[in-house]
Structure 1
Amino acid sequence: MSTAHETARLGAIGCAPLPACSVPARRDKLRQAGTLNGIDYVEVGDDGTSLCVHLFGDVPQGLGVANVRISGGERITDLRVRGVNPELEPELHDDACLRVLLDREGDHTAYCLCLVDAASGEDPASWLAYPGFDPRYACATLHFRLDCARTLDCADEAPCVQPPSPAPEINYLAKDYASFRQLFLDRLALDMPAWTERHVPDLGIALVEALAYTADQLSYYQDAVATEAYLGTARKRISVRRHARLVDYRMHEGCNARAFVTLASSNDLSLELDNLLLLVPPPGPAHPPPGLIDADQLAAARAAGALIYEPMPLDGMTHIDVIVAHSAIRLHSWGGELCCLPRGSTRATLVDALPAPAAPPVVLLATTDAAVTPARALKLAVGDLLIFEEVLGPQTGNPADADPAHRHAVRLTAVQTSVDPLDGTLLLEVAWDPCDALPFDLCLSVRTPAPDCAWLHDVSLARGNVLLVDHGEHIRGQCASSAICTPTGSDGDYPGLAAALAAMPDACTRCGTLAEDCWLVPGDTHYGCCRCDGAVPDVRRPPSDTGHVLPDTPLTWAEPLPPHAPVCRLLARDPRLALPQLAVYGGALADVLVAGTPDPRWRWLPQYDLLASGPDDRHVVVEIDDDGAAHLRFGDGVLGAQPQAGDFFRAASRIGNGPAGNVGRDSIVWLALKSGVLSADLVPRNPLPASGGTAPESLAEVKRYAPGAFRAKPLRAIVADDYASFAARAPELQGAAAALAWSGSWYAADVALDPRGREDLPAALARRIRAQLERYRRIGHDVEVHAARYVPLRIALNVCVRPDFLLAHVEATLRDRFGAGLRHDGTPGFFHPDRLKLGAPVFASALLAEAQAIAGVAHVEVSCLARADDAADSVPADGVLHLAAREIAQVDNDPDHPDHGSIRFTLGGGR
């Protein structure tokens, strides 16, 4: 598309631009006058033979083929007009145009189209403008083929090029303030030889020194950029973090500590979790009494450096019901004495009664209608936390002698009410996940030593009203924005701010009431090229800077809680999965500067990185610098959404992180409310120490481990061990082995699986492992999955028993220790499936050590250690029975299945 140009000959018309004017002011004058018509521009159709000639005014009546002339061209000349028709279809064009049909398409050179008087001759020099047309705009230049893309402006520019000035001689070795100062003085001596002043107060010297200082800072920045460009030389924490992420290594910023807190109350009450704070008193000479503290004490404790913890809602829990009976729950022994919950227990029976000793006994009365059921005191449910605690010393009965290590937290998976039919005691049967099995023997009742020999009950109790808390507090900040509170009447660096403040006169007051950090995104407004009257402009508001630094440190990092998880998973911490505890909202001022929490659609979610974020994902990344300050990084419109200039942001952060929260047991003894007053005798306590608080990863650790991080997570199986390692990732397996077997045409990966806790392989598990290995399978390999091959063994031990021990007792202990199931103490036997690994040899020395550790055994000899199918009773010369990589030893010693391996004991001596 091109415009007409003024002709160079008097009375004639054409496309020769003389003189060349940068501002076509005549076009606007012709439009305003409305007396003369002319060609505005010419459009070439996609077929190349159809032209649409746009005029300043209406298409004249009677304009025909004889009035349209085309000249020009080098390879294709003498273009002829075949038809001329006015086109008055507003849906195709913004204005009417003259449709001109040509006999063929032109070449790449410029052509000149003119609307002339029909009486004009064939020579272009004799063409005269069509009556009523301005001679300057009776012709227009057009191109049938463009050498540039259709979406680009192909207008030729003729910039005024000036010859470059000679480059000055520069000393590129100048890198510091002194050398830069001398460099500037040397240059000034060449350009201004008459200026010889060198005194410090001189204005010229002051300017030279200011420039030298600026150059010194730029030189330092240049060196810093080169230094931070590589992982090995980088010194900034943020630079090291980004370098490590490029090789799939996620640098962690630590995580906060978690703890279990029990609440003992004198009366039943319900507490909102988001209104509770648990505190460790600040250090001091005195031991503060535990209990509830008021707002003034909370402020004083916070200023003195008290550690603050907040409850963690489990599975959407919003409040906790504190029950008096849950403060101390007795464990039922079913009338027995010298009772304990053995190690590995996953069930217990609780006494469903109030802890008060004067409670009347429960009596069941039979009536003609129905039995009267007494009211129950315990309100435990599935998902509640329970802590078992030894409260009396088993030897002395003194509370001070209780072992603090005999405390264990569980999460209930089953709760069932029952009644002891012997005495009518109300009971509550509870169970928990095997992952939370008791790690020790929990004593329930003991007998004190002589001379008292008294029966001691309730040695251990269960504690309810348990909260899971973690270190960190949502601090109350102050929103202060000078651009909002001191408006200038114009947008300044924040587009749209003036209009937003006009629609919200109380913006400064609202900003002052926010308890969060807030800021405005600076930037500018960019308009598209189409800014003519009636056109819809393309308006963009690119930000000049989207980064922000949070004012408080250290920011809390924590992993999301797994749903319906046992205690073992609640306390299993991985700092690389921790996310910053930060709530960021950003958008238009009217949408975000509101009372309370803004709409969730304006929230920006914290992420580990933006590599998987789309252009519309409102994600933010938090990067911690060397001083511990948190920098917010938003997307660029491609990887993550980009904030717009003028957007208003508010961020509520949580402070408290690292190993500082790993306090000892019985340290969290204060409870405070964020708002309101509570009248109750409420005493918090953490029976177990807080754990999981981890310090941020150091730069030295990242530089050491990041280069090899890609090897930690392979993505393809190449050799046989790769198939075994991929299969062993399944939690149902305790091991896997693989070998590549040649089938005659290709290799097949033969994978043997060792299930956990059993000797047979379920078909469903085999199919699932096979499907999982398919994604890692190398092209050209087949995958076959089957159970490991169990090899039954024959073992014979000759045992000499000490004279003061019974043979039957020693033999019973031997059979218990060398069994294939669990021992009496709950630990796996020597030949338990979980202790036997794929390809693991059986050592005669291990058999001797296991038997020799039994009390009463004086001497042991291994008389047979062989496979069950070996006829001879022999022992390998080196004392080691070797197995293949896909074999597992099997010694079930089951008389019903002698084919599953056996062990024989020949005892002598004793009595």
Structure 2
Amino acid sequence: MSCRCDKFHCRAPVAIAAGLALLPRAPGLFPDWRSGLLAAVGREPALDEWRARESGDLGLMLVEMGAYVLDVSSFYDQLVANESYIATARLGGARRRHVGLLGYRARPAIGSSVWLAAQADGTRVVTLPAGTAIRSGEFQGNPPQVFELGEDAAVEPRVNLMEVNRVAATLLPSPLSSLTARSGSVRLRPGDVAVLETGGSLLATRIAGTGLLQLRTRDPITQISFAAALTPPAGATYAGTRLLKPGLTAGVWKLEPGTGEPAVSTGAELSLDTRLALHVGDVVVVSDGAALAARRVTAVTETQYTLLAPQESSMTDSNNKVTKMLSPPVKVGVTRLTLDSALPLTSTAAQWVVHHGMVEAATLAPPLKDTLAQGDAIAVPALIDPPRVERTGLLLEDVHGEGVLTTGTLDALTHSATAAGAPPWGRELWAPVQLFGNVALATRGESVQGELLGAGDASQAWQTFRLKKKPLTYLPAPNAAGRKSTLVVHVGGVQWREVESFYGAATDAMVYTVQHDDKGQAELRFGGGARLPTGAPVVADYRFGAGAAVPPADSVKQVTRPVAGLRKIHNVLPAFGGSDAEGPAELGARGPRSALLLGRAISLVDIETAAAQQPGVRAARAQWRWDEQGLRPAVVVSYIGDAQLAPTIQAALRALAEDDAPISALSSPPQSARLDVDIEVDSRYVPADVIAAVGHALFAAVTLPGTGGLLRPERLGPDGVVFQSVLVRAVMDVPGVTGLRALDFDGTPFIETGRQPAAGAYLDFAAGGVWIDGKRIG
């Protein structure tokens, strides 16, 4: 080529920074291209003679046409470039297609679950068939939801509802200022000396008073108050405690011992002023009028003390003869005690009084606990006849409506229930507590039976059908995906099977796929295996309804169709486990993370990622811990979410890991936390706006994984540490903040490197609040 205009000069590639929400691929719009072309005319020698300025000039028309073409081309170039990446794609379904290349299937909406307690009328066992529907009420602006039983449930009227006896306390409190006893057994009055014998220790005190307690018990109970609080040994129990009182008293030898006679009190030895029939092991109390000391006798001997010293007398007879007579000393035998330890009394021994002859002062009645804790005995007096069907699930509800689900057994012989020791309850229940024995699991989703989707046409290689109701219900399941579909499809009366993709499907395989769009519509596609037979009806049975909104406790209790013999449904616990379908924004965040798993969980990071993707989980952390039962290291996944999710999460993780991998899931309890921040604001800024900006940096709502304020549980996670330096930097980076006057954590200055919750817990600033210049943000 000889003309310079035929040469192409490559421009430098566009430098695009990373992390942009929009790729700046378009160099300009129509005016920019037109101005650029006209400006370039003067740089071309071949166009030096061109002077046209009229709009009808062919040259100008060509310039404007070129600018138009370049404008359209750059627009679509930018659009195509942006839609080629997950982070910048905006068109409907684009992100779903991108993550599909990674083998990631977008999570559909998951239906929640709820544990229900049923009660039956009469004396016969009532069977609730699978599919029995129970509707919730409206809640938090959400319409009622329908839950259905997944399998038949037998309702045994013998265990409808039973009250749990209050549990007696087992350990003595410390310090101990009073005891409770059965009223008819109390033999004490104010001022009496008493001895508390517990755990091998003896504690002496005086009685301050007694009084009848007003309790919700059949037996009258008396409270025995002590003049001074006692400190029982650690681990002392009511069962191993006796309250004693002395019936007799004795004095201590009061005369000065004679030559060769033992001291009245030396260390642990003590001489009385009389003989007593005391024995080794007896309990005595030595008092000096103010102080008391209880001791156990280890040895009893007898010793002699001089009662009257030798006396010399003289007698003069009639002859004035003086006869001197020396009378022997008068001695007396007394009891000498050896005690188990020295006495702490500092007053003169002659003032001491020994209390002995101990008898039972009262029959102790351990106080009834106000709460029922995991591990306490569950006594159920109303359990008279054994249930005719096996009961393994138990629901407990306290007076405030708080509940606990546990597994266990019912024993009519002992009128008691036995609850499993795991998983942990996470709370104590306040008396009175009710036990429900007829427990059944219901899952969200309303059934649609026999919906005709269309007919097969063997002349078509591909056929698609849409379900009339949405969203299609998926339920949690112990598999790698963590979910299962409720959809069942029959073609010409023969059930076909759902597969994730047609890859590897045989030409005669009766399979189909299900795809969801961004609006939650489910589309069934046939043709990747066998073609649909011509004229064969395609019929679907499924359930619809799912999402993250779950009804609270005492909401799911309206049976849609009456069942003979069913009295009522009681909803103790809130529903759990639901989640919304992943939207485009969530796909952009979670899709790439799926590359960490590739269908298997091997490392702690893999397990943590898989747990965080489970429905209802806000955050998760996996750690190696020692398994005391299995005597081996185990992976413990702590997660922030409903405790009822633990079995589902554990099953899903086991499906991703090795079959024998030791994995357990535990719900992290919240630990209330409060943060107070006092900032200095630049005078040029509006203080309210700066405070709001600091609050946003610290406690903004979470919208996507990795977003939200610094102190949100989703950011901190279980066992999450709040570092002081990170917190200070987040505050100081807010425009308008010039200084930090004070920073308090839970009421104390935050001067440490960091603060963390108790093991396995997470810091809940929503409970305590985030306060900025005295204004609560969270």
User: Would you call these one fold, judging by a TM-score over 0.5?
Assistant: no
TM-score, structure 1 length as denominator?
A: 0.35
TM-score of the superposed pair, with normalisation by structure 2:
0.40
- Higher normalized strand content (fraction of residues): 2
RCO higher in structure (CA 8 A, sep ≥6): 2
